[in-house]
Structure 1
Amino acid sequence: MRLLKSTVHPSLNSLDQSSFLRLAARGIVLKGEEILMLYTQRYDDYTLPGGGIDEGENQVEGLIRELAEETGAQNIHNVKAFGMYEEFRPWYKEDFDIVQMRSYCYTCDIDEELGETNLEDYEVKNGMKAVWINVHDAIKHNLDTIKNSDKKGMSIERETFLLSLIRDELLSS
């Protein structure tokens, strides 16, 4: 899978610290210029649906499970690799200093109607919900959050980069 970007969080002075690898799968679902996103009230941002790949799962299995859990997507099909985004971020628990996260992004199609979600407790507490939004509006909103909000999370730069790449590569064709 092609490497889209590799980033190091600005608070990290060195990657020579204890670290672990986290693998994630993220879904890109488009209907024209509308994209299926997760809006998170806590961070006031839009992110691609997806998350950690479980032990024993491959990337596509993780994508399908996460997409169904977070958005209620049904009949996930026509899955195609888009690219991988790698990031090194601080880890705030005792066991490690750094998390190396690899987000494997895939385009796919789903049925028109979304089913029930199965969000984790923290996702519910953060006010996460699946929404269809115009790609351009999602980019504009995230850029505004980056510029003006103290609520933003660490993933917003990744998500805004991915949205811009989706706009440039998938909407212009």
Structure 2
Amino acid sequence: MRLLFEMDLKNYDKNGKVFKRPSARAIIIKNKKIYMVHSILYDYYKFPGGGIEKDESNIDALIRETAEEAGLTVIKDSIKEYGCVHRIQKSDHADCDIFIQDNYYYFCEVEDNKINQNLDDYEDYEKFTLEFVDPIVAIKANRNKNHGPKDLVELEREAKVLEHLIKEGYFE
């Protein structure tokens, strides 16, 4: 999968213990808008998706996480690779110094019917809500609003992926 960009904060001990957490994220575009998960509490947008579990394929994680976070059923035959964002920064985990995350983005289509979300505790607390949004609205929200304790690197990653999609003509 092609590398879209790298986000390396260089704020960590290069000899420290590493924590890796790859993720799979869904890009679902229709009529010049995109499905995104909106944190109502902290007012940011993210692509549906999340962490890839041990012994889980990227595609299986994409399907599972999109259903859990967004209540959408991915049509497996529609999945196409888009690109990867490689992220490295100081870890906020007590037993690790470096956080490394490869974020794999996939185009996909979803079934028309919605299913119930199955949110983690923090996702429920933040009131994760699926929204069909103009990409510029999501970019501006992620960059210009107060998001409380949220990791701004993660939010900038999502804004930059949206910018890539716009630049490459996916919303025309």
So what's the TM-score if we normalise by structure 1?
Answer: 0.89
Question: 1:13: how far off?
Answer: 5.0
Distance 1:55 1:87 in 2: 19
For residues 13-72 of structure 1, the C-alpha deviation after alignment (integer angstroms, 9 at most, x for no partner) is 543322121110000001121111011134321110110011111111110010011111
Tell me the equivalent position of 1:23: 22
CA distance in 1, matches of 2:155, 2:90: 15
Q: State the distance in 1 between where 2:61 and 2:112 align.
A: 21
CA distance in 2, matches of 1:28, 1:17: 34
Aligned amino acid, residue 105 of structure 1? Y
Q: Which runs of 5+ in 1 are unaligned?
A: none
| In 1, Cα distance between equivalents of 2:33 and 2:171 | 13
Alignment of 1:57-68 (within 5 A): 57-68=56-67
* Conserved 8 A contact 1:42-1:127: yes
Give the Cα–Cα distance (whole angstroms) in 2 for the partners of residues 126 and 140 of structure 1.
19
Identity within the alignment, %: 31
Counterpart amino acid of 1:64?
I
Matched residue SS, 1:104 = strand
- Give the structure 2 partner of residue 153 of structure 1: 151
CA distance in 2, matches of 1:93, 1:138: 28
Residues 37 and 150 of structure 1: CA distance in aligned 2, closer, same or farther (over 3 Å): closer
Offset of residue 167 of structure 1? 1.6
SS of the residue aligned with 1:111? strand
TM score, norm. by length of structure 2 = 0.90
